[in-house]
Amino acid sequence: EPEVTQTPSHQVTQMGQEVILRCVPISNHLYFYWYRQILGQKVEFLVSFYNNEISEKSEIFDDQFSVERPDGSNFTLKIRSTKLEDSAMYFCASSWGTTGAYEQYFGPGTRLTVT
Amino acid sequence: DQQVKQNSPSLSVQEGRISILNCDYTNSMFDYFLWYKKYPAEGPTFLISISSIKDKNEDGRFTVFLNKSAKHLSLHIVPSQPGDSAVYFCAASASNTGNQFYFGTGTSLTVIP
């Protein structure tokens, strides 16, 4: 069964450093997403991406964040200057269609720890 | 801005009995609802969904009920099995906001053998 993969599984970085989280969505999916979950809290939407551009983003997704699909398979989330409060699980997801009727398939997540 | 709420952080049920997980929402524009299941160290996996034109959707042991007037949905698992022990998230989306899902905080279900 096709699945979304994410690397690394755990990333530790110092405050102020840049991090890039990587995702390989399911190959025939067209829509890509990043979510995060701070420990003990809900899963929060960050951004959706379609046709090589951002289609929606939340208030969390400020100028410190950027997304890119550098080639035909990878989808990346970059945090330019990490803060302590960026520590969370980051989930990548992908879907075939755009409306809520298309389920999103999630990767296993990357645990980001900012020290 | 808690548009989707799961007020029970945890639930314990005996194996073989029914598990009922509840979810409330505030945005009347939500027209599609999903339940995701999450095991530790894994991403959420899709379980079952329902659109706002229905009030019930069943898939094997899992049934989701939607009460639009009360802005409430519930997930019934019957019979519950130990392998069902996980965190369950409900999520909702509105067609006019495209593909953004709003998640609840999750309910941790423990099925006791």
pLDDT in tens, A44-100: 999 999 989 998 899 999 999 999 998 878 999 999 999 999 999 999 999 988 766
Quick check: A104 and B46 CB within 8 A?
A: yes
Check: CB of residue B19 under 8 Å from CB of residue B80.
Answer: yes
pLDDT of residue B73: 97
**Average pLDDT for residues A17-31, to the nearest whole number?**
94
Preferred mutation among B99, B102, B103 to probe A, highest tally of A CBs within 10 A = B99
| Pairing status of strand A65-68 against strand A53-57 | unpaired
pLDDT in tens, B80-112: 999 999 999 999 988 776 667 889 999 999 999
Among A6, A42, A45, whose Cβ lies nearest the Cβ of B104? A42
Taken in order A94, A100, A103, A108, is the CA torsion positive or negative? positive
Quick check: B99 and A100 CB within 8 A?
A: yes
- Please tell me if residue A109 touches chain B, with a CB cutoff of 8 Å: yes
